[in-house]
Structure 1
């Protein structure tokens, strides 16, 4: 049976995700901005939370962990290298693990923070990327360098294009508005802009989204684009230099 995925809006513009295996009843929560919406989603479905997976240490991804653990007894998973600034971990990850018989690949994706990780479930075609690869964007470089983030994104673009990217925030509208300043003739981007506007008008999340759509529309994955390079006056620059300029411009957009 396929894993069930639930997207849960939290705080002002964060997302948590529930991943449920109907065969075993196992349920994981990926990031915990706050506990009440997650507990409500679990109760609505009659699910018992068994695991919590943390992508990075920022407060808006971990603030609800203590309350969620107290309410459910779930075990916490996070990067061993970042354990000193995460909530107490039951499993300090140094590599891949399994969830209800599904392989979970742990991918180091520094940039937004130096200890950021992503979770990829190849059988389920899911990737939880939080604030590394985001819908039509990527996370700010609070701790890492452009080189690190570019390398991290290059790891993620090698995933199968049908992979569903589950990122951490509802930033898509602004990200697309920025992307259109760099690649205004991109038909896929124009179409996505219209879809996102429709979703937000209906009060619906714009995540998750297929990697294939990110490849076609996300400027941080499109450093090869002739239109973007021309608009940045970086026609022959390295991909990393183009990426760094895009990130710099987005920071002040």
Structure 2
């Protein structure tokens, strides 16, 4: 039976994700950006929370762990780095499998935003929860990692099947679209940017996205194609990515 995803906005630009294995009714929260909001949504859904699945240690992803665990008894699962701010009941890393009822998540190492960042991939339902590694039309800043690590992580996600639904953790897409237009004149990018602006003007979410759409229009995945425009023609792919990331970091549009 499929995985049910309940998405809701919280904090200033985060998304919360409650997920339920329909076969068993067991539920999890992917990260804990806002404990009060997550607990309120749990009350609305009536779901029984079994797991907290952390992608990385940042407070807007693991800061609500203790409050939610106290309220629900859910077990906390995540990479070792989460211990910087909260205990873990189970530490997971590349190649591990996390089961939520009959739903199986493969743990993917996607460091760069933080060194130990992970993603959760449900291959059967073609769903990935990617935290702050990949965004719609963007990617996370490298607070701890280096360009070669981040590029490798993005390529791991880009290698998932095109139809994979990608749940990223922030509504950054309009800002990402404005940057994409500044470095990439591909018609598909322009069309997607307009669709994003239209959706946001209606108050609609631009998350989730898909791997196929990101391959086609995300400037960070398209970095090698954009290298000449950024003055790094012939550079290794990770260096082209670094140039795109540096351009975004200084972008004022």
TM-score, with structure 2 as normaliser: 0.94
| Gaps in structure 1 of 5+ consecutive residues | none
CA 1:86 to 1:161, structure 2 compared with 1: closer, same or farther past 3 Å?
farther
1:251 to 238, 249, 252: 249
Q: How big is each residue's C-alpha offset from its partner over 1:74-111, in whole Å with a ceiling of 9 and x where there is no partner?
A: 111011x3243142111111422222222211011110
Q: How big is each residue's C-alpha offset from its partner over 1:114-173, in whole Å with a ceiling of 9 and x where there is no partner?
A: 011111010011111111111111110100000110011111111111001111111111
Give the Cα separation in 1 of the matches to 2:82 and 2:234.
41
2:230 to 222, 229, 232: 232
Q: Which residue of 2 aligns with 1:92?
A: 91
Q: Which residue of 2 aligns with 1:216?
A: 216
Give the Cα separation in 2 of the matches to 1:49 and 1:200.
31
Residues 1:36 and 2:36 are matched in the alignment: yes
Q: Which residue of 2 aligns with 1:82?
A: 81
CA contact under 8 A between 1:56 and 1:86: conserved in structure 2? Answer: no
Mean Cα displacement is larger for which, 187-196 or 149-158?
187-196
Give the Cα separation in 2 of the matches to 1:183 and 1:148.
23
Q: How many residues align?
A: 249
Q: Which residue of 2 aligns with 1:123?
A: 124
Give the Cα separation in 2 of the matches to 1:50 and 1:175.
34
- How far 1:189 sits from its partner (Å)? 1.2
Q: How big is each residue's C-alpha offset from its partner over 1:193-241, in whole Å with a ceiling of 9 and x where there is no partner?
A: 122112211222111101111001101101232xx22311222221111
Give the Cα separation in 1 of the matches to 2:136 and 2:82.
27
Residues 1:182 and 2:180 are matched in the alignment: no
- RMSD, matched Cα: 1.3
CA contact under 8 A between 1:34 and 1:62: conserved in structure 2? Answer: no
CA 1:195 to 1:97, structure 2 compared with 1: closer, same or farther past 3 Å?
same
TM-score, with structure 1 as normaliser: 0.94
CA contact under 8 A between 1:78 and 1:86: conserved in structure 2? Answer: no
Which aligned runs of 4 or more in structure 1 are off by greater than 3 angstroms? none
Q: Which residue of 1 aligns with 2:106?
A: 105
Q: Which residue of 2 aligns with 1:53?
A: 53
Give the Cα separation in 2 of the matches to 1:105 and 1:188.
31
| Gaps in structure 2 of 5+ consecutive residues | none
Q: Tell me, what secondary structure is at the counterpart of 2:228?
A: helix
